[in-house]
Amino acid sequence: MTCSSHASVSCPGSAERHHSALKTRVIALSVPHRVRDTREEIAIAGMIGVTSGMAQNAQTPPALFDRALLHARQQRARAQGEVTFLLDRVAEDMSDRLAAVMREFHAPVDIWTPGDGLAELRARLPSIQRIALDVFGDEKLPFASESLDLVVSALALQFVNDLPGVLAQIRRALRPDGLLLAAMIGGDSLTELRQAFAAAEAECEGGVSPRVAPFADLRDIGALLQRAGFALPVTDVDRVVVRYANAFALMQDLRRMGAANVLIERRRTPSRRATLLRMAEIYAERFADADGRIRATFDIIWLSGWAPHASQQQPLKPGSAKASLAEAVKKAGKE
């Protein structure tokens, strides 16, 4: 396993430095990668940005993402050979979570999951309908009111421009006591890459370009589920830390996930070579382990909620309690 050297890079400039590309990715098992030349890595890196986010205003949500471009880049990644270790992890976890739900689903749908991510689940639920991201990236869902009893989605909702609106559409499409179960990238995902790019661009170019949009956090998602009208909303996070030989190897994986920069306000000119080299250097300086390999954080946010139904647990009405908490505390203190 080869680690890259870390010679100093001055900005501005075009200092030459060679990086050995990732030969194995460590998460649970080692996966082989093809070694690339430094210039090839930089050419790829100039196209990469890590994007995610959600609408900040449900009434007039800003268009953050070019979803038609997202479709094109996901198709390209699939043609070139997808990197699916995160999607595979989510698919396995989703199967386990659904197995714990003691009921049968007769009208399930999978919304926008990329590639063949939920193939195992489709084998278990042969009636599941799949809604793929279309070439226009449309966010309007084609479902009648109360027509579904299960909606699932894996690693797709982080690229939605109007997340409150999409959740509201899903809620309307679910029958009473229907279930939404989804996973999306959020939280502190790729915080290391975000910080390294910001520092390198500030140092080398005097400013920061919009490479990384903010990710939704756990509290954001929980609030949006409640706002959309879901009952019994639950959110949790699965943190995955993956190690790479260098930042260019990480960025190569992001490209092969179809996660290249699709921000509408993305930079349209190639990144400077010196900036990219400095970014990789800063990344290694700040986020490398003792063996020289760098860390990349992925936070997978899980969200679930039910369409309201009379059979579900309901909160008690204010003032309906038959015992006083204050009296119980006093009694416990005397004992």
Could you tell me the two tokens for 312? 């579900």
327 vs 245, more confident: 245
Residue 176 C-alpha from the chain's centroid: 28
pLDDT in tens, 145-180: 999 999 999 999 999 999 999 999 999 999 999 999
Looking at the predicted structure, is the pLDDT value of residue 70 above 50? yes
pLDDT of 8: 54
State the alpha helices, DSSP H only, in 206-266: 218-227, 247-256
Pairing type for strands 108-111 and 148-154 reads parallel
Helix, strand, coil distribution of the chain in percent, nearest 5: 35, 20, 45
Domains and CATH numbers, the chain: 24-334 (3.40.50.150)
142 vs 319, more confident: 142
Could you tell me the two tokens for 291? 């063996």
42 vs 92, more confident: 92
Backbone φ, ψ for residue 270 (5° rounding): -60, 145
pLDDT of 4: 40
Looking at the predicted structure, is the pLDDT value of residue 293 above 90? yes
d(CA 180, CA 195): 34
Range of lowest pLDDT (30-34, 84-88, 304-308): 30-34
pLDDT in tens, 89-104: 999 999 999 999 989 9
d(CA 274, CA 291): 25
Q: How many CB atoms lie within 10 A of CB 88?
A: 15
Q: What is the CA radius of gyration of the chain?
A: 23
Could you tell me the two tokens for 176? 């009473």
211 vs 13, more confident: 211
Amino acid at 144: A
pLDDT of 14: 37
Range of lowest pLDDT (5-9, 68-72, 98-102): 5-9
Looking at the predicted structure, is the pLDDT value of residue 69 above 60? yes
Looking at the predicted structure, is the pLDDT value of residue 52 above 50? no
- Place 335 in a pLDDT band, splitting at 50, 70 and 90: low
By the 8 A CB rule, do 67 and 137 touch?
yes
pLDDT of 18: 34
Could you tell me the two tokens for 71? 């479709």
